[in-house]
Structures are given as C-alpha cells and as structure tokens.
Chain A
Amino acid sequence: MDAALAALIKLNRGVALLAGVALVLCALFILADIALRRVGSSFGGTDEISGYVMAGLTAWGFGFALTERAHVRIDLLRDRLVSPLRAALDLLAMVALAYVALVMAVRGWPVLAKTIANNARANTVLETPLVIPQSVWFAGLVWFALMAAAMVLIGALFLLRGEIKKTEAAIGPPGEAP
C-alpha cells in the first residue's frame, strides 16, 4: 500500500512536470507572437492555443494537486477532533471529491462525443479540430477520477487496518504550508 501511494505521487509529479513544460512552451509561443507583431506579422490564434493549454494542464493538474494534498479544505473543525475522527473526515472528504471527479468525467464525455460525431472545428481562423484539445482535457478528467478512486481506496485500507497516522498522511491536509 505504501509503495502504491509513493508510486502514484511520483507518477503525478511526472505528469505535472510535463504540464509545466507545456505551460513554458505556451509562454514562449506567446512571446514569439509578440515579437512577430512588432514586425507587422502574427501567428494568429495565440489566445485560442493558450486556452487549450490551460484546459489541458488544469484537467491533468487536478490529479497532481490531489496526491500532493493541495486541494484547499477548511480544517478548523477537523483540527479540533480526536485522531480517529479526523481520519474519518479525511475519508469523507476524499469520497466527496471522488464523486465530483467521477461526475465531471461522466459529464465531460458528451462534450467530446459530440465533437467526434460532428467532426467539429473551432469557429476561428485556425479552425482547430476540437477533438485534439478536448481529448487531452477529457483524458485529464478521467485521470483525476481514477486518482480520486485510488486515493479513496488507499485511505480506506489504511483506516481499516487501523493505521490512522498513515491515513492522515495520505489523504489528510498537508502538515506545513509549502
């Protein structure tokens, strides 16, 4: 279980680094466009591309923020409880999150399905086939749902084994602000 948790954390750091590199590439693209504009030219559509990058890195970032325990919670009441109750609340929070992640993925699918069915292109100069950015985005939402389910499982197993400390370490709030 510990190994599985460590592997998930490491995997998501890899994902986040890739997304971070995409952000840097997007920034370079914007810079190049600004430079081109000075000489009276332009790629056109930097806004459109930035939007797609944002959608992709956000969707894939959700899972990373989850394994890093970075999704913000109000732990005022939680901190005043005894340890086993705290861990129970952590599990409840994780179940609620997994539910929302699942609903998002399920409701995200029709968006992509419709795009595929109509072979839809963006209503812009680039006429981007929307299937590309939306697939990345949808895959990110599915990844988030999978990660959330895995974290519920890990948290629940730790709790069932009575390893309260480990439950809190896996799905509780971060000990120190980063």
Chain B
Amino acid sequence: MIGALTAGLLILLSLSIPVGVVLFLLGFGVSEFFSAFPLMRGLGQMAWSAMNSATLIAVPLFVLLGEILVRGGVATRTYAALDKWVSWLPGGLVHANIGTATMFSATSGSSVATAATVATVAMPQAEKLGYDPRLFSGAIAAGGTLGIMIPPSINLIVYGFLTETSIPQLFVAGLLPGLILAFAFSLVTVLLCRWRPSLGGERRVYSLRQMLRALADLLPVILLFVVVVGAIYAGIATPTEAAAVGVAAAFLIAAAFGGVSLTMMRQSLLGTMRITAMIMLVVTGAAFLNFTLAAAGLGRDLSAFMDGLGLTPLSTLLVIVAIYIVLGFFIETLSLMVVTIPIMVPIVVGLGYDKVWFGIVMIVLVEMALITPPVGLNLYVVQGARGSGTLHEVMVGAIPFVLVMLFMVAALIAVPGLALFLPSLL
C-alpha cells in the first residue's frame, strides 16, 4: 500500500492536478483497493466534521488579520520605522527586510503576502542605496518564511488539526526556534557584510529622536502580537478567540493610520476567502485520506515496512529529513506538509519522538521549501516584485539562509529542548 500510495501521489501531483483533489483521489483509491469496508460512505460525514470546525476558523481570521495590516499600509510604516532602528548595522536595510518580514509574517501567518509586501516597499531603496541585489532580495524571501514558524502560524494550526496536537503547545514550541532563526538571519547578514562590505549598501545612522518617533509606528504592531499570542499562552483565550481580537485590533491600527477604505476591506475579504478555500480543500482532502488510511490499517503496514528497513530511530529520522529536503525542491509549503503528514507523523511518533517537536522540525523543513529552487514560491514573489534582474540572483541570495535553516534542523534534533522547553513550562 505504501508503494502504491507514494507512486500515485507523485504521478498525480506531477500531472498538475490540484493538490487537494489528489488527496481525495488517493483516498478513493485506498477505499477501493485496500479496505475491506466501503469507506466512501463515510465521506460525507467526514467532510462535514472536518469543515464544521471552530478550531479551523482561526485560519480565515488570522489570514484576514494579515490582509488588513498589509493592505492597510501598516507594513510600509513598519519598514520605514525599522529602517531607523537597524540601518546602522553592517548590512543596513537588509535587517529591516528581515525584521519587517518577521513581524508581518508573525502577525498574519502568510509567508507569500509578506514577502510580496516587503519586496514592493524595499526594492526601490536597494538600488538607490547601492545594495547587492542578491543578498537584499534573498533576505526578503528568507525572512518571509518565518511567518509559518512564529505564532500565530496557520501551518501550525493545520498541523495541530490533522495530527490532533494541542495548538497552544505548538504555538509556544515555535516561538523560540522562530526567534532564533530571525536572529541567525541577521547575524549571517552582519558576517557576510563584514567579510564583503560591498554586499551591504550605505549604512545610515539616525538620531535618537528619529528612532523614538519611529516607535509610534512599531509599537501598535508589537502590541498586537503580544496581545494575540499572550492571550493564547496565558490560557485566557482559544486561538480562535485570540484571532477574533486580533482582527479587531488590526482594523483599529489600520484605521488609525488612515489605511481603511471600502475597496481595501473588499480586497481583504476576497483575499481571505481565496486563501482559506484553497487551504481548506487541501486540508479536507488530507483529513479524508487520513481517515481511509487509518481504516485500511496503514499503521500495521508502516511498522512492518520500518522493521524491514532495520534502521535506528535517529537514522530513520535523518532519512525523513532528507526526503523533506528533496521533496521541498518541488512541492510548496502547505501542500508538502499536508501530503506528508498522514504517513510521516505516524512513523515518527512510532519511533518514540514527540509530536509537538516534530511539528516544529517539519515547519523548518517546509520553510526551506519556500526558498529552494526550482519551486520556491517566495523566490518568485520577490522576483515578481523586483521587476529587474534575474531570478537566479534571488536564488543565490537565499543560499546563506537555507544553510542557516539546515543548521536549525540539526540543532533541533540535537537539542529537542529548543522546541520543548517552553511548552514544558505551561
């Protein structure tokens, strides 16, 4: 069954059939060929319970939150404000790229929207101030990936939903690795610019007064993040409730900055629906495939398969990491996560690893998929916003950050506490 499933998955995906549809088709196949019971009869009830979910409504709410902030012009202000604070570092504005991408992806959970916004705002500055276009654009693409790690992350909600893992625990677990990655990105930039000063552009130092004035633009967004994530951590609110509060706060911030209009709200709602429906077709398909696989006895098959390989838990884990890296060249974030969860998570849990911990490892791996060619959505988004130069430059610029992510995966495997220390305090 495992062989047929993998082959079917790869063939159907490469025919460019929509990912959600592929998952359903595989589920139909499992029901037809590998199950003693007529599983198809359960499809309706299964789809209703997957879609009728008070947990998953946090997804459109967080998407809407991000859409409002980005379309309301808050991102542009954040970028300008961060520029005042970090441009004295070697690498200057590159840190503002990373910082803005981190903050926005942290509040919205959407990597692509963030990368697109930051690229649009930042790119004109790069030429003017003489930055190396490779490092500059690579940093935007890489910074944008952090959104799916730093809470509130839509990908973590989906992981939690599909694997029945506590979403607050996942959110807490992602915080430290996410922040470490952001700092590591900045550190790498500083080191690179020390080594080759020509990579960075003109460094600018602003007066303390200018920096303090810029705080007015930064604080509301930081406050929003603290309120939303803090309420979840403190156990005051469910992720869904925190998301609703976040939407209201984002609306107020955008309104205070004069960014709210009827057109902007219309576009935010349409954007939210587009992303949500896309995610939900994939998630419903994965939930159905999960259901058929469990009924057809995948667990038994998998343990037989793993016993046959005769690997130690660690080497199995390394093989899994390698599989993700390879698949990541070709398959995009959410799809990669969702299509692999039904098979990979039971294997890893069977080996005795922690589900929360593996969720975080998987997130770093799928983040990498966003910036590894030939299919790396953020690379294309940043290139699209640049309007000059070649895609190749963005790819080269992203390489240092890919290496940082690989180190992060190794660190998480060597020191699981990086992810599990904070949840253990809850």
A residues lining the B interface (CB < 8 Å) = 13, 16-17, 19-21, 23-24, 26-27, 30-31, 34, 46-48, 50-55, 57-59, 61-62, 64-65, 68, 70-78, 89-90, 92-93, 96-97, 100, 103-104, 107-111, 133-134, 137, 141, 173, 176-178
Q: A23-B61, A23-B273, A74-B13 are in contact. List 7 more A-B contacts (CB 8 A).
A: A20-B270, A23-B64, A55-B48, A61-B277, A62-B277, A64-B274, A70-B278
**Is B14 engaged at the interface, CB distance under 8 Å to the other chain?**
yes
Whether the Cβ atoms of B274 and A72 lie closer than 8 Å is no
Number of A-B contacts (CB under 8 A): 196
Q: Which residues of A contact B245 (CB under 8 A)?
A: 31, 34
Report Cα–Cα, A49/B139, bound state, in Å.
42
Whether the Cβ atoms of A23 and B270 lie closer than 8 Å is no
> Contact partner of B274 among A65, A134, A141, A176, CB < 8 A?
A65
Whether the Cβ atoms of A64 and B44 lie closer than 8 Å is no
Report Cα–Cα, A100/B17, bound state, in Å.
11
Report Cα–Cα, A178/B268, bound state, in Å.
12
Whether the Cβ atoms of B334 and A16 lie closer than 8 Å is no
Main secondary structure of the interface of A (DSSP, over half): helix
Determine how close the nearest CB of chain A comes to the CB of B258; give it in whole angstroms: 21
Q: Which residues of B contact A53 (CB under 8 A)?
A: 57
> In chain A, what residue has the closest Cβ to B280?
A58
> Contact partner of A47 among B18, B48, B54, CB < 8 A?
B54
Whether the Cβ atoms of A30 and B241 lie closer than 8 Å is yes
Q: What are 24 A-B contacts defined by CB distance under 8 Å?
A: A20-B64, A20-B273, A23-B60, A26-B244, A27-B64, A27-B247, A31-B248, A34-B245, A51-B53, A54-B54, A55-B52, A61-B277, A61-B280, A62-B280, A72-B19, A74-B19, A76-B330, A76-B374, A93-B21, A96-B17, A97-B18, A100-B21, A111-B44, A137-B48
Q: Which residues of B contact A104 (CB under 8 A)?
A: 24, 43-44, 47
> In chain B, what residue has the closest Cβ to A105?
B44
Determine how close the nearest CB of chain A comes to the CB of B135; give it in whole angstroms: 22
Q: Which residues of B contact A70 (CB under 8 A)?
A: 274-275, 277-278
Whether the Cβ atoms of A89 and B16 lie closer than 8 Å is yes
Whether the Cβ atoms of B45 and A65 lie closer than 8 Å is no
Determine how close the nearest CB of chain A comes to the CB of B296; give it in whole angstroms: 18
Whether the Cβ atoms of A77 and B16 lie closer than 8 Å is yes
Determine how close the nearest CB of chain A comes to the CB of B386; give it in whole angstroms: 13
Report Cα–Cα, A57/B279, bound state, in Å.
12
Whether the Cβ atoms of B278 and A30 lie closer than 8 Å is no
Report Cα–Cα, A64/B270, bound state, in Å.
9
Report Cα–Cα, A106/B166, bound state, in Å.
33
Interface size (B, Cβ < 8 Å)?
66
> In chain A, what residue has the closest Cβ to B381?
A177
Report Cα–Cα, A141/B51, bound state, in Å.
11
Knowing A27-B248, A74-B13 are in contact, say whether A57-B60 is a contact too (CB < 8 A). Answer: yes
Whether the Cβ atoms of B270 and A107 lie closer than 8 Å is no
Whether the Cβ atoms of A177 and B241 lie closer than 8 Å is no
Q: Which residues of B contact A34 (CB under 8 A)?
A: 237, 241, 244-245
Determine how close the nearest CB of chain B comes to the CB of A52; give it in whole angstroms: 6
Contact with A along B355-391 (1 / 0, CB 8 A): 0000000000000000000110100110010000000
Report Cα–Cα, A33/B330, bound state, in Å.
44
Q: Which residues of A contact B13 (CB under 8 A)?
A: 74
> Contact partner of B276 among A57, A75, A141, CB < 8 A?
A57
- Give the residues from 1 to 57 in chain B that come closer than 8 angstroms, CB to CB, to chain A: 12-21, 24-25, 28, 40-41, 43-45, 47-48, 51-54, 56-57
Whether the Cβ atoms of B57 and A26 lie closer than 8 Å is yes
> Contact partner of A55 among B51, B275, B282, CB < 8 A?
B51
Q: Which residues of A contact B51 (CB under 8 A)?
A: 54-55, 58-59, 137
Determine how close the nearest CB of chain A comes to the CB of B25; give it in whole angstroms: 7
**Is B259 engaged at the interface, CB distance under 8 Å to the other chain?**
no
Q: Which residues of B contact A64 (CB under 8 A)?
A: 273-274, 277
- Give the residues from 319 to 338 in chain B that come closer than 8 angstroms, CB to CB, to chain A: 330-332, 334-335
Report Cα–Cα, A13/B273, bound state, in Å.
10
> Can you list the 6 inter-chain pairs with the closest CB atoms, starting with the nearest?
A20-B269, A61-B277, A65-B277, A47-B54, A107-B43, A30-B244
- Give the residues from 386 to 414 in chain B that come closer than 8 angstroms, CB to CB, to chain A: none
Report Cα–Cα, A169/B52, bound state, in Å.
33
Knowing A47-B54, A72-B282, A104-B43 are in contact, say whether A16-B16 is a contact too (CB < 8 A). Answer: no
Determine how close the nearest CB of chain A comes to the CB of B178; give it in whole angstroms: 23
**Is B197 engaged at the interface, CB distance under 8 Å to the other chain?**
no
Q: Which residues of A contact B12 (CB under 8 A)?
A: 96
> Contact partner of B332 among A23, A26, A74, CB < 8 A?
A74
**Is B189 engaged at the interface, CB distance under 8 Å to the other chain?**
no
Whether the Cβ atoms of B44 and A109 lie closer than 8 Å is yes
Whether the Cβ atoms of A93 and B15 lie closer than 8 Å is yes
Whether the Cβ atoms of B282 and A17 lie closer than 8 Å is no
Determine how close the nearest CB of chain A comes to the CB of B10; give it in whole angstroms: 10
Q: Which residues of A contact B273 (CB under 8 A)?
A: 16-17, 19-20, 23, 57, 61, 64-65
Whether the Cβ atoms of B330 and A71 lie closer than 8 Å is no
Knowing A23-B64, A59-B51, A65-B277 are in contact, say whether A54-B57 is a contact too (CB < 8 A). Answer: yes
